[in-house]
Amino acid sequence: MGFFSWKCAKSKKPVMAEVAVRGSPWQFASKVVVLFNNGDCISGTYDGYGRINGFEIVDYSEDRWRMVIEDYYDNETFEELSKNKYDQGQGFFYSDEDLEELFGVQHERKDQTTC
């Protein structure tokens, strides 16, 4: 199975595979927070194959979780976020020009409180 990904439940921007953005201005887009409908939460780096720091998100129904790019997360609850949609670019197949248009050239990381 190849790369696959979702769009951020808040910003609707693609959650990027870490290998696709490593060392780039868009590396932040692979850092995510995942909220579960039971109140649990994990955070880490999305690998492009359905795993966040080795945790297999694909083992859980998409109705049970919401994924948000960490820099866009502002302590929303599961209920405040919409179900993630699939990303047609699979979190990988974007040119620098595409990423620049989607995320901007400069991205300022905000101080973050995660799970």
The CA distance from 111 to 105, in Å, is 19
DSSP 3-state of 58: helix
Query: For residue 113, is it within any domain?
Result: no
Residue 26: left (phi > 0), alpha (psi -120 to 50), or beta?
alpha
The CA distance from 73 to 114, in Å, is 8
Query: For residue 12, is it within any domain?
Result: no
Q: What is the pTM of this model?
A: 0.90
- pLDDT class for 110, splitting at 50, 70, 90? low
Query: For residue 9, is it within any domain?
Result: no
Q: Which residue has the higher pLDDT, 109 or 43?
A: 43
| Mean predicted confidence (pLDDT) in 38-67 | 96
Specify the pLDDT at position 80: 97
Query: For residue 1, is it within any domain?
Result: no
Query: Tokens at residue 85, please?
Result: 């949609």
Instruction: Give the domain extent around 63.
Output: 18-76+85-103
Query: For residue 2, is it within any domain?
Result: no
The pLDDT tens digits of the residues spanning 5-38 come to: 999 999 999 999 999 999 999 999 999 999 999 9
Per residue in 35-64, is it b (16+ CB within 10 Å) or e — as a string? beeeeebbbbbbbbbbebeeeebeeeeeee
Number of structural domains, the chain?
1
The pLDDT tens digits of the residues spanning 54-108 come to: 999 999 999 999 999 999 999 999 999 999 999 999 999 999 999 999 998 655 5
From the number of C-beta atoms within 10 Å of its C-beta (0-12, 13-18, 19+), residue 100 rates as middle
Query: Tokens at residue 61, please?
Result: 């129904």
